[in-house]
């Protein structure tokens, strides 16, 4: 998205809108396309002003941010959507509804700059197709994974994930370079990734079979799986047969 990025700010709190407006004024090639104090006004402004990016509050009277996204028509010229909220428990819903980023208040300039940069990489057509696909199937694509790193939420493709590993109540997402905190339980992730390359190998591990580089025998009924990032996992007795079958051993 080249040239000036036109941004619509949507928040029911005047102070919150003012803060975002002031922060955005420090960015080059960013123009404030307008403001909206609720969801109904936001929909009208999106259709009339056709902004490139909407910074959208999650919780507003009568119509929240997620409902605004869902009411956008597929025929509209759709903007990139970034959810801005004081609440962190709705990140998955935001991404499922078509948002490209999720910012927690108070928003740092660094995170705002990252969201603006991400919006520049999205064209209206790509965003429209994404929202249309989600609205059509009514469920999130199974291959999109949301990970958390501090206050940031990272959207991953499933093929970027090497494994999921649980430690007590926490579930970690293992990628080639990072270890992110998952926003769902291992059971939910296993269900969402059914019929893909992910396989449960232990009660605390779900691995991407496409990333398996070596299998070694520990005992007659136990195996050691080594992934392409050299991370190792023990296969439980219960899962040993299914792993061997899946790998055509």
Determine the pLDDT at residue 99.
82
CB-based contact 204:182 (threshold 8 Å): no
Residue 94: CATH number of its domain: 3.40.50.2300
* Residues spanned by the domain of 169: 144-246
Read off the pLDDT band of 21 (50, 70, 90): very high
Using a pLDDT cut of 90, give the percent of the chain over it.
30
Entry pTM: 0.58
- Shared domain check, 23 and 97: yes
- Dist CA 61 CA 18 (whole Å): 19
pLDDT confidence of residue 129:
47
Identify the pLDDT of residue 77. 66
What is the tally of structural domains in the chain? 2
Q: How many CB atoms lie within 10 A of CB 69?
A: 26
Residues 211 and 93 in one domain: no
* pLDDT score recorded for residue 139: 41
**Helix or strand holding residue 68 (H, E):** helix 65-71
- Residue-wise pLDDT tens digits, 68-126: 888 886 555 678 999 998 876 677 677 767 788 888 888 889 899 989 988 888 754 45
């Amino acid at each position: 998205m080249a040239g000036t990025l036109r941004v619509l700010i949507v928040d029911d709190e005047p102070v919150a809108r003012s803060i975002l407006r002031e922060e955005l004024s420090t960015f080059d090639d960013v123009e404030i396309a307008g403001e909206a104090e609720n969801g109904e006004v936001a929909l009208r402004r999106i259709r009339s002003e056709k902004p490139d990016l909407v910074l959208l509050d999650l919780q507003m009277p009568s119509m929240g941010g997620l409902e605004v996204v869902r009411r956008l028509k597929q025929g509209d010229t759709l903007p990139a959507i970034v959810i801005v909220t004081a609440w962190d428990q709705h990140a998955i819903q935001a991404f499922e509804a078509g948002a490209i980023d999720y910012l927690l208040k108070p928003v740092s300039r660094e995170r705002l700059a990252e969201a603006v940069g991400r919006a520049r990489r999205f064209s209206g057509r790509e965003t429209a197709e994404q929202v249309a696909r989600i609205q059509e199937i009514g469920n999130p694509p199974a291959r999109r994974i949301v990970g958390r790193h501090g206050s940031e939420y990272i959207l991953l493709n499933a093929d970027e994930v090497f494994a999921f590993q649980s430690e007590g109540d926490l579930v970690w997402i293992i990628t080639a370079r990072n270890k992110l905190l998952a926003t769902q339980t291992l059971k939910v992730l296993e269900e969402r990734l059914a019929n893909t390359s992910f396989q449960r190998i232990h009660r605390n591990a779900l691995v991407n079979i496409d990333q398996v580089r070596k299998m070694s025998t520990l005992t007659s009924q136990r195996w050691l799986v080594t992934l392409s990032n050299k991370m190792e996992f023990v296969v439980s007795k219960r899962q040993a047969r299914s792993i061997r079958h899946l790998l055509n051993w």
